[in-house]
């Protein structure tokens, strides 16, 4: 088979922290004839990949330009603060922004949270990436606020994290160019939405063959055959409804006998 005869892959990009393994597994089970090309890209680069036609769809972080892209929100992530294991906030189950007032809060250039005002004290310089910021936290230079998936992605034995309340949250979505909603995109939409393989929504499935119609004669024959095979049925002429032949004497009189005068 030449390369030109091969089925083009479904190209899916995803951002760091998003784990598409489950959806990829279902795709491979349902669409074994269509390979899935999976590529991780920085969060800020995902929209450009989709807009430029380098990918068919993407698992991205909102917001996206809704004049260009269609998007289906999938879930919202919890926001956490990453700190050294000996930090004071590890003594509590949940942290408030006020608890970080005396800390240097690192703000990497690839931050995915939409802050109006970052809590704590700003660093002299912004780290280039979240990975760089994690290294600075481990060095005791500050703390870092990220979605939970990124805290897990950059996990270190000397660091831990705690939920941060009253903080922006990151929403993950499936997005694709609005003018490029292909059959493959519809199939992947069905997968992330949990539709079954026989669902009528999304891509149209082949119709099931029609069953043969039953006629009145067929029904009468089946009914006659069924009654003929029932045990205990009396088919003698002159039988009553209960199977007792007509003319059978009835049992004795009912009620009290009359007295003779």
Residue range 210-246, pLDDT digits in tens: 555 555 555 556 555 555 555 555 544 444 444 445 5
pLDDT tier at 109, thresholds 50, 70, 90: very high
Q: Is the pLDDT of residue 12 over 80?
A: yes
Residue of 189, 185, 177 lying closest to 52 (CA atoms): 177
Lowest-confidence region among 175-179, 181-185, 193-197: 193-197
Percent of the chain with pLDDT strictly greater than 90:
72
Among candidate residues 131, 14, 26, the one with its CA nearest the CA of residue 82:
131
- Report d(CA 148, CA 79) in Å as an integer: 6
Q: Residue 46 — left, alpha, or beta (φ > 0 → left; ψ -120 to 50 → alpha)?
A: alpha
Could you identify the residue written with the tokens 């430029």? 52
The per-residue pLDDT for range 15-40, each reduced to its tens digit, is 999 999 999 999 999 999 999 999 99
Question: What's the confidence (pLDDT) of residue 196?
Answer: 83
Residue 259: pLDDT over 90: no
Answer yes or no: is pLDDT of 251 > 70.
no
Yes or no: say if 105 and 115 are a contact pair by the CB < 8 Å rule: no
Mean pLDDT of the chain: 85
Q: Give residue-wise pLDDT tens across range 65-94.
A: 999 999 999 999 999 999 999 999 999 999
Instruction: Record the pTM.
Output: 0.73
* Percent of the chain's residues with pLDDT above 70: 74
pLDDT of amino acid 222: 59
């Amino acid at each position: 088979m030449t390369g030109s005869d091969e089925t083009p892959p479904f190209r899916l990009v995803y951002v760091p922290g998003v784990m598409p393994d489950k959806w990829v597994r279902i795709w491979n089970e349902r669409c074994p004839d269509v390979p899935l090309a999976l590529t991780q890209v920085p969060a800020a680069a995902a929209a450009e990949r989709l807009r430029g036609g380098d990918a068919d769809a993407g698992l991205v972080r909102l917001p996206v330009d809704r004049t260009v892209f269609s998007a289906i929100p999938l879930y919202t992530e919890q926001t956490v603060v990453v700190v050294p294991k000996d930090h004071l906030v590890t003594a509590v189950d949940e942290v408030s922004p006020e608890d970080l007032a005396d800390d240097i809060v690192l703000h990497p250039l690839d931050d995915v949270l939409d802050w109006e005002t970052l809590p704590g004290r700003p660093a002299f310089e912004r780290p280039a990436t979240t990975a760089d910021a994690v290294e600075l936290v481990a060095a005791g230079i500050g703390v870092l606020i990220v979605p939970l998936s990124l805290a897990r992605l950059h996990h270190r034995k000397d660091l831990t994290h705690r939920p941060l309340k009253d903080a922006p949250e990151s929403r993950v979505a499936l997005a694709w160019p609005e003018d490029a909603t292909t059959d493959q995109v519809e199939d992947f939409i069905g997968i992330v939405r949990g539709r079954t393989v026989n669902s009528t929504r999304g891509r149209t499935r082949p119709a099931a063959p029609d069953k043969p119609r039953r006629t009145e004669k067929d029904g009468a024959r089946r009914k006659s055959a069924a009654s003929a095979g029932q045990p205990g049925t009396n088919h003698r002429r002159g039988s009553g409804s209960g199977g007792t032949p007509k003319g059978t004497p009835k049992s004795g009189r009912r009620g009290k006998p009359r007295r003779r005068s």
